[in-house]
Structure formats: C-alpha cells, structure tokens
Structure 1
Amino acid sequence: MRSSRRRFFILGAAVAGTSLAAAPPVSADITSELGRLLGRTRYRWLVGDHHTHTQYSYDAMYTVDNVVSGARLHGADWLVITDHGYPAHEKSSVEPTNVDVRAARRKHRDVLLWQGIEWNVPGAEHATVFFAPGADEATLLRTFERTYDSRLTDSGSGSAENEAKAIAAVRWLRQNTRDPIVVVNHPSRNGRVAPHELRALRDTGLAIGMEGAPGAQADGFPKPDGNGGARGGYVNNPGTDSWPGYPAEAYRTYGGFDWMTAKLGGIWDSLLAEGKGFWITSNSDSHYNRGDVLARPAVPGDYYDKTGKYPDPVDSGVPHLLAPYADFYPGEFSRTYAGATARTHSAVASALRAGRIWVTHGGLVDNLEVAVHGDGQSATYGDRIRVRRGSSVTVVIAARMACRPNGSGSIPQLRRLDLIQGLITGTASPDAVSAPATRVAQSFQPRWWPGHTVLFQHTFRDVRAPFYARVRGTDGNRHAPGGIEPAPDVIGDSDPFQDLWCYTNPVFVDVW
C-alpha cells in the first residue's frame, strides 16, 4: 500500500507560519466523522488506575482512604484496590478491606472504586483481577484467592500443570463473577510470563491485556544513599522460572515502558499481528509514594502474618526518598484513560474490555484521540473497520498539548508523534516474539502551544492487506543511538520526568 505525505493542522492557531485556511484541507467527511468519534457526547475519557496497594498488603502501608484521597487529588475517576494475594491476606484481610472500600465509596462518590487483588498467577507472576462490585464481592474474592492464588496453592513454578491452573482460574471468574477483568502486571520484570502464556490468557476472553508500563516509576530517581533503583523495579536478570527465550534487554524498561510494549515489532506487535485485541494499560503500583511524609509505624517482623494488616501510617515529617520500589499516587504520574459511555463501573469495565484506552506519563498530553476512516466507516481505539481491497484508509490524530505543570514543576512538551502500522498476518506460533513487518508509517512534529489541539492526517492508499494502526508520542529527550526508538532506562539514574512517552491501543483494518 502507498502512504500519503503528512498533513498537519492546529485548531485555532497558525501552523508553522501557514494559516489554517491555506493548509491542505481535511475532507468534510473526515472532519465530520472525527467530530462524532471524538466528541464528548460519545466517550468520556476517564482517568484511572487498576493496580494499587494498602496496609492490607504485606509490603505497603496506606489506608484505603489514603489511596482514594490521593487518587482523587490527582484527578483519577476510577480506581482498583489490588492488595497482594498472601496467606495472611486471605485469612484476615479481605473482609476488613471490603469494609474500608465501602466506606470510601460513600465518602468519595466521585471516584468509581473496585476491590480487587494482585493475583499470584499459577505458572507465571502477577496479574490484576477485579469484577463488578456487589454484596458478595468479598466472599467471591476470598474464594478466588484461596482456590487459585499460587502463594496459597504452591503452584508458582513454571509447568504445564500450573499454567493450566491459571486458565482454570480465569474460567472460574467467568462462571462466578460479573464483569471480570484480568490484566497481566509488569510482564517482563522477571521474565516469568512466557509468550504462550500471554496468548493462552488472552484467548480466554477475560485477560484484556497487560501493563504497557509498570508502576513504581519513581524508583528510577537517583537515590541519596547511592543505591540504584530502576523505573518499575526492572533491575532483574533471568531466573530459574524465567522463560529462556527472552533476551537480556527484556528485563529493562524503555522510557518507563515494558520491553514488550516499547520494542517496535516486538511481543506486543506479534500479538496484535494476529488480528486479536490485547490492550496496554499503565498504573501506579502504589506502595510508598515518593515525597510523601506518611510512614509505617515500626512493628515486629511477624506483625502482618498475624494480623493481615499494618497500623495506619503516621506523619513522619520527612519525605520518602529512599523507599524501595518508590511509587506515585494514582494519577500523579501514570494515567490510563478509558473511553466510557457513562460514569459507571460497568461503563469503565466495558471501555477497558473494548480497548478504548490510551496511556501517558507525566502529563505529556492532556488528550490523545484517533479516528480511522475508510469506506464510510470510522473507528477508534480497540475498534475495527472493514474496507474493500484497493480502498484508502485515513487516520486522524488529535492531541491536546499539556497546559499544566506536572510533578516536576514544568509543563511537558510533546515533541513527536509516531503513527505505527503493523500488518495482520494471522495466527502465530504460541511463543512468537516478533512482528518484523511493523514500521513507523509517519512521524509528526507538533508545534507546541499549551492547551491547543493539534491535528494530523495520514492516508494509506490502495490498501491490499489487513493492518492495524497505533500511536506513540515522546518529549524527545532520549532515544536509542542513531534513531527514534526509546532508549533503555539507566539503573540508578532515571528521573522519570526527563523521559516521557504516551501510547495508544490499536485500531484494526480488515480487508475484503
């Protein structure tokens, strides 16, 4: 297929010295469809976080109210509490957490709140699990944890038997809960989630995707004591349970994003090249938030094992700068935007399941939306259109520039957007790790006016084969040598605010 030259527009401003009227026109049908797709009457782009921890996790400290209040302060609309599966948690924590969650729902009515769990996946590592709130949510959650969490069932090691237990667990969720969602967490951190496990979970229809970027982004800051952390805690090397096909670079982040996401034509693209949805998210993984003065009181070493809960944190007067796996509050640095039709639990769950999701770090952009148009059809993230062979397909990207300072005190600047095209080649081998036909179809360099919306258009002409399109953006601060790909984060010296990226989920184009 042939691609058009780029077209660049700014709504309400001049473009690189050329007036809007003098710029190549966007056809009326594209403009109309873009307005319909991106109009607020269709989708509400709600900010959320599906991976957070409280005092009911063996390695965290915040009360449920602390986490929800912090999320609300930083503009989150929805939130999932996901304390770790653990023997003491199953024994003592699920019901008390539920009491606190219900209290937080009453107090913070503008935040859609779920009680979930960070599931220790049999044969793998971690995943977020949550389902529709209800009178029996705690009972169902506790039953799931007791029956299927690998810490409680001694099923963590990689084996065909344990991988089958993971699939059985997801099927149990389908049969016993409403609106269940599973998201694979930090997929490359320890290399324990093999490509065939991702595909098997995806094919259940409940595992909607994976964390495109892990939480714990503040762990990359240089630490005063000289001990080096890394964004997401990605400081590992292959272990005995790691899948042997992963290269050394898989155990690092790239601009804060997991290698599976960041590598062009890598594992994420190999999954999308099958023509099936597998979406990315982002999150805080909040445990100990950088700069916070709250601290966990000193307790005996076996305190949590006996109680399933730590005491409420107290004001220490000293900001956290040395905490391991340092995080941010939900919405403070990492944001997952879900395109919901209403402000309800079910509408957000439907948006996540459909892949109407884009993610950003450090407030790089205030909004990022995409419309794909062809043969009278239009689609946005997670959707698909079907066009005749030889048709033209136009992608329109709308990005609203950041206009507020982020946590670093500066207003981030989006310096480049990449439109990425991947060919749909059909079912791949279970452990496929690459999609070599993936390419950057066009890069766009926005002129930065805070608060303005920039609009780009790219047309794929004479389309002969099915493909998908996705978008990523960057502040342009760091790239791999000699190119535009993200660079690996430096262990012990990776200020997350100095290397910001955003990513969208794909739109699929089928050809007949």
Structure 2
Amino acid sequence: MCDHHASECTEPHDADAELERLGFSRRDMLRTAGIVLAAGALTGAQTLGTGTAPASALGTARGGAANDPALTWLVGDHHVHTQFSHDAKYRLAQQLDAAERYGVDWLAFTEHANFAHAEQGVFSSLEQIQQERDARDLLIFQGLEWYIPAAEHGSVLIAPGHDSARVLRAFELAWDGKLNRWERPANAAQQAEWERRAAEAIAWLGAQKRSGLIEDAVVLANHPLRLGIDSPHELRAWRDADPEIMIGMEGAPGAQGSAISQNTHAGDQRGEYTNAPRADSWPGFPADAYRPYGGFDWATATVGGLWDAMLAEGKPFWITSNSDNHLTVKDTWVTGAYPAGEPYASLPNEFDRWAVLGKRPDPVDTGAPQGGSDFWPGQFSRLHTGVTTRSYAGVLQAMRLGRMWVDHGHLLSGFDVRVRAAMPGNGRGRGNGAGNGWGNAAGVGATLGGRVAARRGQDVEVTITVTTTDYANAAGIVPQLVHVDLISGPVTGGSADPDAVRAPETRVTTRFDTSARRGTFTLTHVFEDVDRSFYVRFRGSDGKRQGAGYHGAAVDPGGPLRHGDGEGDPWQDTWFYANPVFVDVR
C-alpha cells in the first residue's frame, strides 16, 4: 500500500486470504473479467449510424415514456470523504448536516482505497452509515475512491444491499492500483498490462451486477486532467469495458476553493489543477490541459475537445460535478489528538497512525480558520439528477442514462430540456403531410441523455426551460444567468484513433441572452432540415469571465477562460453544464 510517498506504505496481511474469507478468489475474479472482455461485452458501445446503442444506455430511439419521463430532480454529490480517509477530517454526521443545510438529497462517501480501509474502514464506516440512513431523509451511498491502475482516481458507487460492502471490499483488494502497486508504470509493457487491469475491474463489477450479487453500480473518472495520466484511449477503454458501469467523468473537479483558502499561494487554481506533465502523463496533452477553465476540466470545457470527440462517436459518456470534500475552506475544525501511548507513540507519520483503525480521531473546533480547498456538499458544486423514483436504484439509473446537469454557485434553480422531431404540416416540417413515416413526428421527445429519431429533411426542435435562482448563495450573491449556449456537432461514428481529442465540426450553435430574464422561462431553437445524426449539449454562465474558446472564436466565441494567478475566486466565475441529447437521423 503506497499513497504517493514511500513512507506511506504498508504490506497487506494477506489480500488473497482476505478475498477467500469474503467468498472470492483472485483467480476466479481475473477469469470472470477476462471472459467478459474477451466476449466483447461492448454491445452498449456501438455507435449511432453504425449500430444501435442499448435502451438502457441512450434511451429508446423512437421516444416514449422511457425516453421522455416525468422527472424529479435531486441534488447529489458522488465524491465525499470523512475521517475514514487518511487525508480528511470530518465525521459522517458533519458532512451529512452540511449536505442537508445546502439542499442535497443524496451523496456518496468515497473513502480512499488502502489496506486499512479495506480491512477495517469498509465495515466500521458502514455501521455508521446505516445509522445515518435510518435517522435522515437522505440517500447515502457507501462508495470508494478507486486508484485506477496506471491512472487517476475514480468514484465507485454501489447500491446498498446484502452483499454491497463485501463486493466493494473485494473490488478494492483485487483491483485497486495503489493496493496492488499498479501505479506509475515504468515502461510501455507495464502500462499496457495495468491498463488492462483497469478494464478488467470495470468488467468484473458489471458481472457482479448481472449475476444479481449487487443491485447496481456505476464508476466515474475523477479529476481526469489533474495529472494528465488519464489518456484518451484509457477513457475509451474504460467506457467500452462496460458502458453500463463506466458512465463518465467529473466535468468539474472538487477542491473549487483552492485559490481562496486560508493558506492560498500565488498560482493556486480551482480544483488544485496546478500540475505539469510527469513521466507517466499522456504526452499528447498540451500544458493548458492541466489548468481549469471556469472551474471545469479542459476535457469538458473545450468546445470541440476531448469530451466532444467522445460524444461524436455516438457513445454515451456523461459529466458530473462534486465537492470532493476533505477540508472545507476556512472552517475552524482540526483533527483531534490520537490516544496517548502505543501503538501511536512509535509510529512515524500521520498515515500510519490513521491506519491503526482506518479512522482519524474526531475533529475539534479551534475557533480559528484552518486551511482547506473544499466546499461542503451542495455549498458550491451541485449535481442534479433526474429520477423517476426517489431511491438508490433511481439515482444510479438517472446517472447511467445521462439525466444530469451541474452548476456552480447555485447559478440555476431549475433546468429542463426536451428535444423532439417536429411534425410535418405543423409549421416545422416539409409539406402538408400527417406525419406518417416520420419517426417520432408525433411530438414525443427526449430529455438529457436521451435519443430522438428523425428523418432526413425533418426539423428538430429544442425546448429549454430555465428557472433562475432567487436567493443569495453561500457567498451572499444572488446569481444571475447571463447566457445559455447550445453546442452541437455531428455524430461521425467510431474514431480510428483511440487517442483522438478533437471533434472539428462541433461548435457553439447559438447563444441566448438571458441577462434580463428572471423566474421561469422557455428558450427554443430549431435545427432545420436535418440531414445527419448529431448531438446537442448545453452550458451557460454568469458572464463575468468569458472569451474566445480554446479552439478560437469561430468555434466558441464566448467560452470559459483559463484561470491565471489571482483569478481563481470561484464565486466570480460560475457556469452550468448539461449532458447531451442525441438525434439519430435516418
């Protein structure tokens, strides 16, 4: 077990023996994962125009209730830490109190993987989580921050069930990059081997769902461009290993308060995105990719960039946002003292003392502001999930289907999208027909993450319903949405280059000026006479920092800007992003 530093290493008691006690065998786990990958369990990764994506991944192509349901929007956070992580300090109850205070409906505790967590923290934290589930009107997931082999971190969320903690623990022991020393590959062969391990882990988790051992699970890539070690081909490989499990990535990282913390330094950036390429970084990322843009990751914020290159393949891959809370900006709490005497007195560092129980002491309030880069769950960053049932299964299914939008600083109170192929003869179509043979011309549409079928020559109408925020956020600002942008590009099919980071035809299609509008209002855009499959996604901001996008004004005339020194106040540069709708033109 190594976490960044050689001093933070501990040998496991016997991971294989522990797997056996849990009812698993490493050999069988590897065999199961290998069979799944070899069998090509990628039917959900076929591209629009060259195949049909599964209904569970992209919705029903011709609409209907499954594609355009009545939704309840729940605020969530899929990446939160407590004293059960070696570098965080809060009790579960403190995080949950804050979540309730800021309007969060569900969250996931994703403690860092390591042997002390796998051996002790999983079940001791679960006992507390269950007590909190019984006491609160919150959906509380037990998850894991997975050290993805040869790559960055990932959020693993598993629906609560009889075997969920056992499966989570086995996953951590068998597949974690840190526990198994699959970090910082020394050569290309090692890189390839460890990349396969990551795909096998995702495939294995999917197999546990299909077997019924767990009800459901999803995985998301965390802070993907922070270190530049999540290459484009790895993101695609994880997605294709099981697109029902690996559903996307953080569009915006946590740690959004890094540049305004108590101990901030010149050059500190939102998300703690202050790095430069290292030996195992993917060499194709430019230096700019290691910095945030309006608080969002370069992969998401760049119109025509990496996220768009993946969407242009017609495969679902969604974005999220979260707090990644460890240490809240300028709060007054510090980690309490460890007990006097042994074994603590002889241990050389904080990590080893934490590892005794897999838990830090309860924090104490000093009354003086402390260092920290994070906001409380829901305080600044929010993930809105459109559910049909308020349940753990409902949340995970909403995430899998891409029914998600994110905002910073409570920029919006509501956002809803409907996309439909317009009925011929009703002023939107061609001629005076009754709609026969025109796909879903009867007006049934799709919401975020869904698909609409249209015929060539038909019009496609996008209707956006926005509700602005009428209260002051945690910074005392009543947010003002200044614009809403539609970003669209053609679906061109699978990429011949698994490291492609460019979607050259994607651009901002239209911008709505909303600076004078308050309350709830509707915006409409029509794509006329469509002739090929495409997708459309959405964003907007408070308008305080914007300019020509990364690929120029012709592609993005008013996009988020890279933060320079002293420009990292998150409350003065807030954006929202929403996941796409695909339009399949036949």
| 2:133 paired with 1:83 | no
**Which whole-Å deviations, capped at 9, do the CAs of 1:147-205 have from their partners, x for residues lacking one?**
11111111123411001111111112112232110000000000011101111111121
| 2:455 paired with 1:388 | yes
Assess if the C-alpha contact under 8 Å between 2:480 and 2:515 holds in 1: no
Assess if the C-alpha contact under 8 Å between 2:67 and 2:451 holds in 1: no
| 2:314 paired with 1:264 | no
Assess if the C-alpha contact under 8 Å between 1:46 and 1:339 holds in 2: yes
Of the three residues 439, 457, 477, the one matched with 2:507 is 439
Change (3 A) 1:350 1:398: same
Deviates more, 1:70-79 or 1:369-378: 369-378
Matched letter for residue 201 of structure 2: A
- TM-superposed deviation, 1:224: 5.6
Q: For residues 276 and 150 of structure 2, what CA distance do their matches in structure 1 show?
A: 18
Of the three residues 261, 283, 286, the one matched with 2:322 is 283
Residues 290-305 of structure 1 aligned to structure 2 (within 5 Å):
290-299=329-338, 301=350, 302-305=352-355
Residues 321-336 of structure 1 aligned to structure 2 (within 5 Å):
322-323=371-372, 326-336=373-383
Q: For residues 67 and 401 of structure 2, what CA distance do their matches in structure 1 show?
A: 16
Assess if the C-alpha contact under 8 Å between 2:258 and 2:264 holds in 1: no
Assess if the C-alpha contact under 8 Å between 1:222 and 1:228 holds in 2: no
Aligned-residue Cα RMSD (Å) equals 1.9
Matched letter for residue 379 of structure 1: A
Partner of 2:560: 486
- TM-superposed deviation, 1:292: 2.1
- TM-superposed deviation, 1:378: 0.5
Assess if the C-alpha contact under 8 Å between 2:67 and 2:445 holds in 1: no
Partner of 1:119: 146
Assess if the C-alpha contact under 8 Å between 2:484 and 2:538 holds in 1: yes
Partner of 1:22: none
**Which whole-Å deviations, capped at 9, do the CAs of 1:28-67 have from their partners, x for residues lacking one?**
xxxxxxxx9999x810000000000000111101111111
- TM-superposed deviation, 1:293: 2.1
Assess if the C-alpha contact under 8 Å between 1:83 and 1:117 holds in 2: yes
Change (3 A) 1:449 1:484: closer
Q: For residues 449 and 406 of structure 1, what CA distance do their matches in structure 2 show?
A: 18
Deviates more, 1:222-231 or 1:354-363: 222-231
Of the three residues 398, 411, 419, the one matched with 1:372 is 419
Assess if the C-alpha contact under 8 Å between 1:122 and 1:156 holds in 2: yes
Of the three residues 184, 206, 228, the one matched with 1:157 is 184
- Which sections of structure 2, spanning at least 5 residues, go unmatched? 1-64, 186-190, 209-213, 339-348, 422-440
| 2:420 paired with 1:352 | no
**Which whole-Å deviations, capped at 9, do the CAs of 1:202-239 have from their partners, x for residues lacking one?**
11211100000000101122656645421111000001
| 2:473 paired with 1:406 | yes
Change (3 A) 1:492 1:298: farther
Q: For residues 221 and 139 of structure 2, what CA distance do their matches in structure 1 show?
A: 21
Residues 49-60 of structure 1 aligned to structure 2 (within 5 Å):
49-60=77-88
Q: For residues 297 and 458 of structure 1, what CA distance do their matches in structure 2 show?
A: 56
Assess if the C-alpha contact under 8 Å between 2:67 and 2:446 holds in 1: no
Q: Secondary structure at the match of 1:444?
A: strand
- TM-superposed deviation, 1:83: 0.4
Partner of 2:207: 175
Assess if the C-alpha contact under 8 Å between 2:266 and 2:565 holds in 1: no
Change (3 A) 1:117 1:491: farther
The TM-score, its normalising length taken from structure 2, stands at 0.78
Change (3 A) 1:373 1:47: same
Assess if the C-alpha contact under 8 Å between 1:480 and 1:488 holds in 2: no
Assess if the C-alpha contact under 8 Å between 2:67 and 2:450 holds in 1: no
- The structure whose Rg is larger is 2
Matched letter for residue 467 of structure 1: F
Q: For residues 563 and 295 of structure 2, what CA distance do their matches in structure 1 show?
A: 7
Of the three residues 361, 371, 391, the one matched with 1:311 is 361
Residues 449-460 of structure 1 aligned to structure 2 (within 5 Å):
449-450=517-518, 452-460=519-527
Q: For residues 408 and 466 of structure 2, what CA distance do their matches in structure 1 show?
A: 15
| 2:131 paired with 1:103 | yes
Q: For residues 229 and 404 of structure 1, what CA distance do their matches in structure 2 show?
A: 29
- TM-superposed deviation, 1:137: 2.1
**Which whole-Å deviations, capped at 9, do the CAs of 1:465-511 have from their partners, x for residues lacking one?**
11001110010000135741110122454110000000000000001
Of the three residues 259, 280, 305, the one matched with 1:220 is 259
Q: For residues 492 and 85 of structure 1, what CA distance do their matches in structure 2 show?
A: 34
Q: For residues 265 and 313 of structure 2, what CA distance do their matches in structure 1 show?
A: 45
Matched letter for residue 57 of structure 1: S
Change (3 A) 1:124 1:257: same
Assess if the C-alpha contact under 8 Å between 1:389 and 1:464 holds in 2: yes
Matched letter for residue 521 of structure 2: V
Q: Percent identity of the aligned residues?
A: 45
- TM-superposed deviation, 1:261: 0.3
| 2:473 paired with 1:473 | no
Q: For residues 410 and 225 of structure 1, what CA distance do their matches in structure 2 show?
A: 22
Assess if the C-alpha contact under 8 Å between 2:261 and 2:329 holds in 1: no
Of the three residues 238, 259, 263, the one matched with 1:201 is 238
Q: Secondary structure at the match of 1:212?
A: strand
Assess if the C-alpha contact under 8 Å between 1:401 and 1:448 holds in 2: no
- TM-superposed deviation, 1:73: 1.1
Q: Secondary structure at the match of 1:193?
A: coil
Deviates more, 1:139-148 or 1:183-192: 139-148
The TM-score, its normalising length taken from structure 1, stands at 0.89
